[in-house]
Structure 1
Amino acid sequence: MDTVNEMLKCRGCRTISFRRVIRDYESAYPVDERNDEWHVPEDVTNYPSILEGHKELGDIWEVPAIVRDIYTQSVQAIKEQSNTLAGIGLRATIEAICNDQSIKGRTLEKRIDALAKGGLISQKDAERLHAIRFLGNDAAHEIKRADAANLLIALRIIDHLLVTIYILDNEANGRLDTIIKTFDQFEALLDKKLPELSPGDEVPLAKIFGRDVRRFHGYLSAHEAELLSRISNGSYSKLAVGKVAKYAGSREQLQHFIVV
């Protein structure tokens, strides 16, 4: 028996890791008698554990803790070849995403369908998530050990889901002109635009937002109604309600607002 301890550094990402190789010479056997070649069984341990064929998400910290924790535990279970637990964990990761996104449903089947109906994922993505649901159900209810290759495929699907729902949105916001759906986003952009105007200016929202008005994509009317309500109840004080009139040759009468 021979033990070799090594410190390794990846030539790509420069990550440092530890490797232990235990060679069992007593169990060696010949593989080529003519050249006197022998195979010596080796037990190789890496720390941190590695998962061949999988590239770890570099921006995993962008994912909420409720999702990140169960995801990282599932990845570790795959690395440790705890395939039954890994199958359950990947299914639980989908549950955690639904919880974080406030997706309702009596069963995970219904919640996955709701993810697609709500536009968070495509119908094709939903079909893939159902496959992971089956895999997790088999592991949880039948104590069935998932195939390692299938787990890697399922992990790639979960990675794609995390990138789609969390990581790409966080990268795009503030850099790309993304669609503004919520009133909080509307108010943040409004507050950013108002300093470009002077107190007393009376203009419609289209003038205030300029080319950014395209980002509301059908949500502007709802945001305007909410703004009027908040001005009326005193919870928004940077604007006052103005006249309703045409502006700069517009075809329709537009609600104006006065910069306070």
Structure 2
Amino acid sequence: MDKKTKKALCGTCGIETNCETIVYDSNRSCDNYVDGTNPDEVILLVTKCLGCNKYTVSEVTRCDHNIEEDEYGTWYIIPSIKILYPTDYNGSNITSREEFIKSFNKKIEKNDSCVPPKILLILRECLDAYKFGLNTLSTVGLRMIIDAICQEKENNGEISKAKRDELLEKGHISKNQKKILEKIVDFGNDAAHQFKCLKNKDIESCLDAIESILNNIYHLQEINKKLPDSKNNRR
């Protein structure tokens, strides 16, 4: 392949910058599976940075399930880039999606002891769908989590009907949280009936919002139970 100049991740500068392509070897054999599936394309890429004049050797993996939609509605594959050289590269070799999932799993573990198992199951399945690029299923799953919260509160007799209005009226959520829940429900309906899924960043925002609401409804409730009565705690 002829040498070309394009944007690429420089292992020395640590950012995407103008680089000269020295080697572009596509469809190499790959020993590792990506997210449990065979990658569609694995590229050995050797580039020379036009800024620092240093060489970078990287492995670029492209999978058709790891896609994103741009502002013009065009879908494109988000590549996963692993820097092989320089060996002291101190940047991240995982995608932003993988970073989010790793961080979010830790948040789930924090609420594992107080959030009802059925709700956590749906939350984990929703996250798994997002992990494998199944954004439509993940978007529908977001709505299912909201429904599961309402049903759980009704079954426990904390609200009279499994309705989001009841959550607000009984003080389980705030007005701002109610507005977010209504948006998530609309997103889920659009995904289920019109096959319109959320973009990666929007799914992550919704998951963060749901985690915050679960923390507010269940985790803080457990903390309140453990705290001594305020009257007996006065000095």
Q: TM-score range by the shorter chain?
A: 0.5 to 0.7
Aligned residue for 2:15?
A: none
SS in 1 for 2:229: coil
Question: Do the aligned partners of 2:140 and 2:192 also contact (CA within 8 Å) in 1?
Answer: yes
Which of 30, 39, 42 is the matching residue for 1:3?
A: 30
Would the alpha carbon gap of residues 94 and 37 (structure 1) be closer, same or farther in structure 2, given more than 3 Å must change? Answer: closer
Distance (Å, rounded) in 1 between the aligned partners of 2:56 and 2:99: 30
Would the alpha carbon gap of residues 40 and 65 (structure 1) be closer, same or farther in structure 2, given more than 3 Å must change? Answer: closer
Aligned residue for 2:98?
A: 50
Deviation at 1:90, TM superposition (A): 0.8
The structure that is helix-richer by fraction is 1
Letter in 2 for 1:24: I
Root mean square deviation of aligned Cα: 3.8
Deviation at 1:2, TM superposition (A): 4.3
2:186 is aligned with 1:134: yes
Mapping for residues 116-135 of structure 1, pairs under 5 Å: 116-135=168-187
Distance (Å, rounded) in 2 between the aligned partners of 1:176 and 1:153: 35
Letter in 1 for 2:98: I
Distance (Å, rounded) in 1 between the aligned partners of 2:182 and 2:122: 18
Which of 103, 107, 128 is the matching residue for 1:76?
A: 128
Aligned residue for 2:73?
A: none
Which of 141, 144, 152 is the matching residue for 1:89?
A: 141
Would the alpha carbon gap of residues 29 and 124 (structure 1) be closer, same or farther in structure 2, given more than 3 Å must change? Answer: same
SS in 2 for 1:101: helix
Deviation at 1:148, TM superposition (A): 0.9
Deviation at 1:42, TM superposition (A): 2.5
Using structure 1 for the length normalisation, give the TM-score: 0.52
Letter in 2 for 1:165: I
Letter in 1 for 2:227: R
2:126 is aligned with 1:99: no
Residue identity over aligned pairs, in percent, reads 25
Would the alpha carbon gap of residues 93 and 176 (structure 1) be closer, same or farther in structure 2, given more than 3 Å must change? Answer: farther
SS in 1 for 2:30: strand
Deviation at 1:55, TM superposition (A): 3.4
SS in 2 for 1:24: strand
Between the two proteins, the alignment pairs up a number of residues equal to: 162
Would the alpha carbon gap of residues 158 and 37 (structure 1) be closer, same or farther in structure 2, given more than 3 Å must change? Answer: closer
Would the alpha carbon gap of residues 143 and 176 (structure 1) be closer, same or farther in structure 2, given more than 3 Å must change? Answer: farther
Question: Do the aligned partners of 2:187 and 2:197 also contact (CA within 8 Å) in 1?
Answer: no
Unaligned runs of 5+ in 2: 1-27, 63-79, 82-93
SS in 2 for 1:3: coil
Question: Do the aligned partners of 1:98 and 1:104 also contact (CA within 8 Å) in 2?
Answer: no
Aligned residue for 1:60?
A: 111
Letter in 1 for 2:206: A
Deviation at 1:104, TM superposition (A): 4.9
Distance (Å, rounded) in 2 between the aligned partners of 1:82 and 1:152: 13
Distance (Å, rounded) in 1 between the aligned partners of 2:160 and 2:135: 29
Aligned residue for 2:208?
A: 156
Letter in 1 for 2:179: E
Distance (Å, rounded) in 1 between the aligned partners of 2:122 and 2:138: 10
Deviation at 1:170, TM superposition (A): 1.3
Unaligned runs of 5+ in 1: 7-17, 179-210, 215-260
